[in-house]
Chain A
């Protein structure tokens, strides 16, 4: 590859995305059938509710090499299971603060509330997330490729 070709090569981040079944996954579907364009870098995992999210999933995604993680669910007050996202909100707040404290670069971990009617918001936030992660660059701090022992 020539130097010119190299500079044209753009980093394509891998972003593991957890979407709650009832709202945000629906929003993704709506964005799709409405033919809204957004970068293809998100890899979606459907969960029943953001209340199902565990910090273990976020760490596992980074460990396996994800450059970014995005979690999205119903707006507070609209959770299909009434209060799942309320509990999740507290977990997200603390875990986001903890990961940032131990050196996760800002721009890698994202959260949003997107309802199933907000296809346009989904496409917009997806684009924001992808560009934010792209700007940070490839992940290395919390990724584990091979065991590091003598």
Chain B
């Protein structure tokens, strides 16, 4: 299917007509921040990125995995029951290419030859992603250094580009084509539109001033990087809170716990953070990462060394810059990677 085009003022109708076949979500202004919510027609096009990543659509912060009743007299005694998941087809409009690339990376972590996380994939399969290319990357974006970019297509079903008065819609997958067909009423984009999009892409990519090099990080061994002497300095001011892990689109760790009330209970999965000492605390009392420095080191080693090694080169960071903006003590991942690459 070729690139399609839509008049910007027809965008609201486009989303409404999609709303007949999908539950549509898009970026909305909430107070001083942008958040993804139900898009009943009106969405933002002129924004940089949401405060929290949209990973919560596939990896909710708290999720009931199943419930159970241990009362032998109950009809459903000892049966593990999943609540029927709301798997109506969904459409996420307006996410940024970095967040989409993050989903592609997480697909490899949640699904591999050892196991498949159905809680993640059920939602992924039911969701179509129409991303919005970044015409104006933030000063903190460094996506082009980590295998991504403002017009990157990996992970998206459709790439939308804001051309000014028009919006270009480029279908990238079967799901994407299906969505554009469902909306109907779209014209084929002409050569001018395609050229316009290409020019915007070049401009956006060259406007990204934040760069990190990873050539030495890729060359060096794990132990060389692990035993470098800059980690203590980085960790000095770290609060070991969880802000970076929770705003990050590629962080994916979780904790599972049963919450029991009398005889009935729920098994719940919650976001967890490697910044917490409890994260690696053993039942014996031993903790392999007992101090702040080892935990801080772990986070950066995981993202920039272990994940590329284990997942065929994909970096565990997409350069969205959220952690840079939100870290209460301004630990800047770009500086840390520069230290690792020094």
Count class of interface residues, chain A = under 10
Q: How far is the CA of A150 from the CA of B65 in the complex (A)?
A: 10
Contact A150 B264 (CB under 8 A): no
Q: Which residues of A contact B60 (CB under 8 A)?
A: 149-150
Residue B64 CB within 8 A of the other chain: yes
Interface residues of chain A: helix, strand, loop or mixed (majority): loop
- Give A14 Cβ to nearest chain B Cβ, in Å: 13
> Which residues 61-109 in A have Cβ within 8 Å of B in the complex?
64
Q: How far is the CA of A64 from the CA of B262 in the complex (A)?
A: 10
Contact A147 B62 (CB under 8 A): yes
Q: How far is the CA of A64 from the CA of B259 in the complex (A)?
A: 12
Q: Which residues of B contact A64 (CB under 8 A)?
A: 261
Q: How far is the CA of A144 from the CA of B259 in the complex (A)?
A: 11
Name the residue of chain B whose CB is nearest to the CB of A149: B62
Interface residues of chain B: helix, strand, loop or mixed (majority): strand
Count class of interface residues, chain B = 10 to 19
Residue A145 CB within 8 A of the other chain: yes
Residue A146 CB within 8 A of the other chain: yes
Q: Which residues of A contact B64 (CB under 8 A)?
A: 147, 149-150
Q: How far is the CA of A107 from the CA of B203 in the complex (A)?
A: 66
Q: How far is the CA of A146 from the CA of B259 in the complex (A)?
A: 8
- Give B64 Cβ to nearest chain A Cβ, in Å: 6
- Give A48 Cβ to nearest chain B Cβ, in Å: 28
Residue B266 CB within 8 A of the other chain: yes
Contact A149 B63 (CB under 8 A): yes
Contact A149 B261 (CB under 8 A): no
Q: Which residues of B contact A145 (CB under 8 A)?
A: 261
User: Can you spell out 22 A-B residue pairs with CB atoms less than 8 angstroms apart?
Assistant: A64-B261, A144-B261, A145-B261, A146-B259, A146-B261, A146-B264, A146-B266, A147-B62, A147-B64, A147-B259, A147-B266, A147-B268, A149-B60, A149-B62, A149-B63, A149-B64, A149-B268, A150-B60, A150-B62, A150-B63, A150-B64, A150-B86
Beyond the given A146-B261, A150-B60, could you list 11 further A-B residue pairs with CB under 8 A, ordered by the A residue number? Answer: A144-B261, A145-B261, A146-B259, A146-B264, A146-B266, A147-B64, A147-B259, A147-B266, A149-B62, A150-B63, A150-B64
